[in-house]
Structure 1
Amino acid sequence: MAELNALSPSRANDFLQCPLKFRFRTVDRLPEPPSAAAFKGTLVHAVLEHLYDLPAPERTLDAARGLIVPRFDDLARDKEDVAELFPDEVARDRLFDESAQLLRSYFALELPDRLEPAEREKFVSVTLDNGLKLRGFIDRIDVAPGGQIRLVDYKTGKQPKPQYSREAEFQMRFYALLRYRTDGVLVHTLQLMYLGSRSIKAMRPVLADVERTEHQILGLWEDISRSAETGVWRTRTSPLCGWCHFKPLCPAWGNEAPAAPEITALAGR
């Protein structure tokens, strides 16, 4: 049995990408194999979070590199599959080298000794009028002397071409909505930092963007609710299917999906 009463940017993007993928992840909660690329992203995020614990003059590239192994050890204690992902010294050294390169890219984009983030890895949650909970983690929140707010998200991959940037931009507008719904403040800037390509995508939302995003989310939730009530979770094929762990369970590829768990609670119903 399962409850559906909350939505994050990643799960919303799952449904937009493929409703059945959303079902497998959010309703069935099927296990997925660990990902070395995802872990590398987690490691780099952890280093950048803890870098700002240091006094400003000490926030150097060497200091950031020095945080890689301690943060790896911390994550390895909490994640049982790390030994499977990085079984030997060669694999770990490759991870550390690639992480160091991404940190070098970060320092090419920003000077952390001149920044004092207001918050890091901030969990934000709001409940809409229909009972749907929106939630997410914001990598960094900056507040300028004049009070303008900037939401920053680190991406360890390369900046996608414009036609493939929808998911990341939706994620940032989702965060802007969370912030607006929390305290009524419209953020000044939404900033995506692509360390893999040493590039920045900045957006300046207006109130109409936030309202449109809420309308989009409510429409999306109606589609999710309809799928949950009818038991019909459509498939949507794309080039991304080649990387989907659930392909062996997907009817679009000639396979049979398991029966969905019963949904005992559904926000807005």
Structure 2
Amino acid sequence: MTSTAPPAPTVRRPALSPSRAGDFKQCPLKYRLRAVDHIAEPPSRAAARGTVVHAALEALYGLPAAERVPDSATALVDPAWDRLVEDSPELAELITAEERTEFLDEARTLITDYYRLEDPTRFEPESCELRVETELDDGVLLRGFVDRIDVAPTGQVRVVDYKTGRVPSALRESKALFQMKFYALVILRTRGIVPTQLRLIYLANGTILTYEPDEGELRRFERTLSAMWKAILSAGETGDFRPNPSKLCGWCDYKSLCPAFGGTPPPYPGWPTDFGTEDAVLLEEVASEVSE
């Protein structure tokens, strides 16, 4: 009798996602603590609400177009929360049973507000929550998850990202646009076309921001990402991930570990030979893209 060993977990090459690239651009130490040390940030109510809303909108577009009415959409909120808690039981402590109704009502309000901005019964997205990946000419691997991609009958492509917060300051808007350019570059590399429009939908105050990239801009952005990855690898060899204090530090959960604020980072664990198993990394990346 022979036995078959279970397949070994798939190990993936280190890659840049929009969130991790944004981390390094904002603060190399933040990148290290997140991507190398894997120090988890405390769960937040806002991030949990964002995940629920994203999941409900993804499920909404799984329905036939005629059924994508507001009542159907808001009915998807409770099942989305139940799935989230099943995957991340610690969230049951973040949102207590007493707070659950209020929390889910907040998510339903955001879903209802979405209908003031778009009518989901009138178009068919090509994809929702699509995992995208491409390798640049110099070997840099880009990877991420796109909320929604729309393709017009004429072939024009629109990239859509939902934000459950309000329209940000210019500094934080720049971070959101960086993420969208990342997705646009991946589409250019994988499909050979420049997206006609990048659309950021801010549900909390009912605002849509749009941007029209051009190929020259995306090619320059590609060189920026390549240079960034070289800088990350260089820092990884030495452990020299320096803090970069800015106005965004006020929202950072790593201040207690930052020398700029009197903290001390943990001993550098060394550059990882892998970034974990396939499933673990996918879950981490999805959570990061949704929560920002």
TM range, normalised to the smaller chain? over 0.9
Contact residue 146 and residue 159 of structure 2 kept, 8 A: yes
Give the alignment partner of residue 42 of structure 1, picking from 51, 58, 65.
51
The corresponding residue for 1:257 is 265
Give the alignment partner of residue 31 of structure 1, picking from 40, 44, 56.
40
- Alpha-carbon deviation of 1:264? 5.0
Contact residue 5 and residue 131 of structure 1 kept, 8 A: no
Quote the Cα distance in structure 2 between the aligned partners of 1:4 and 1:166. 28
Quote the Cα distance in structure 2 between the aligned partners of 1:242 and 1:202. 27
> Aligned to 1:109, what secondary structure does the other structure show?
coil
Quote the Cα distance in structure 1 between the aligned partners of 2:234 and 2:270. 14
The corresponding residue for 1:239 is 247
Distance 1:97 1:19, change over 3 A: same
Are 2:227 and 1:214 aligned? no
Q: Which amino acid aligns with 1:252?
A: A
The share of aligned pairs that are identical, in percent, is: 47
Quote the Cα distance in structure 2 between the aligned partners of 1:200 and 1:93. 28
Q: Which amino acid aligns with 1:225?
A: L
The corresponding residue for 1:153 is 161
> Aligned to 1:37, what secondary structure does the other structure show?
helix
CA deviations 1:14-54 (Å, max 9, x no partner) are: 11111101000001111221111111001000110111122
Contact residue 120 and residue 139 of structure 1 kept, 8 A: yes
Quote the Cα distance in structure 1 between the aligned partners of 2:34 and 2:211. 30
Quote the Cα distance in structure 2 between the aligned partners of 1:183 and 1:68. 34
Quote the Cα distance in structure 2 between the aligned partners of 1:209 and 1:78. 39
The corresponding residue for 2:8 is none
The corresponding residue for 1:184 is 192
> Aligned to 1:112, what secondary structure does the other structure show?
coil
- Greater share of strand: 1
Contact residue 86 and residue 92 of structure 1 kept, 8 A: yes
Quote the Cα distance in structure 1 between the aligned partners of 2:171 and 2:16. 24
Distance 1:39 1:264, change over 3 A: closer
- Using the TM superposition, name which of 153-162 and 106-115 deviates more: 153-162
The corresponding residue for 2:74 is 65
CA deviations 1:148-179 (Å, max 9, x no partner) are: 11110000011123343111101111001111
Quote the Cα distance in structure 1 between the aligned partners of 2:193 and 2:251. 39
Give the alignment partner of residue 134 of structure 2, picking from 123, 126, 133.
126
> Number of residues paired by the alignment?
264
Under a length normalisation based on structure 2, what TM-score does the superposition of the two structures give?
A: 0.86
- Alpha-carbon deviation of 1:229? 2.2
Contact residue 173 and residue 209 of structure 1 kept, 8 A: no
The corresponding residue for 1:79 is 88
- Alpha-carbon deviation of 1:132? 1.8
Quote the Cα distance in structure 2 between the aligned partners of 1:99 and 1:17. 29
Cα root mean square deviation, aligned: 1.7
Contact residue 4 and residue 263 of structure 1 kept, 8 A: no
Contact residue 172 and residue 190 of structure 1 kept, 8 A: yes
Quote the Cα distance in structure 2 between the aligned partners of 1:213 and 1:192. 19
> Aligned to 1:6, what secondary structure does the other structure show?
coil
Contact residue 4 and residue 27 of structure 1 kept, 8 A: no
- Structure 2, unpaired ranges of 5+: 1-11, 275-292
- Alpha-carbon deviation of 1:64? 0.8
- Structure 1, unpaired ranges of 5+: none
> Aligned to 1:187, what secondary structure does the other structure show?
coil
The corresponding residue for 1:228 is 236
Quote the Cα distance in structure 2 between the aligned partners of 1:121 and 1:264. 28
Contact residue 239 and residue 270 of structure 2 kept, 8 A: no
> Aligned to 1:137, what secondary structure does the other structure show?
strand
Under a length normalisation based on structure 1, what TM-score does the superposition of the two structures give?
A: 0.93
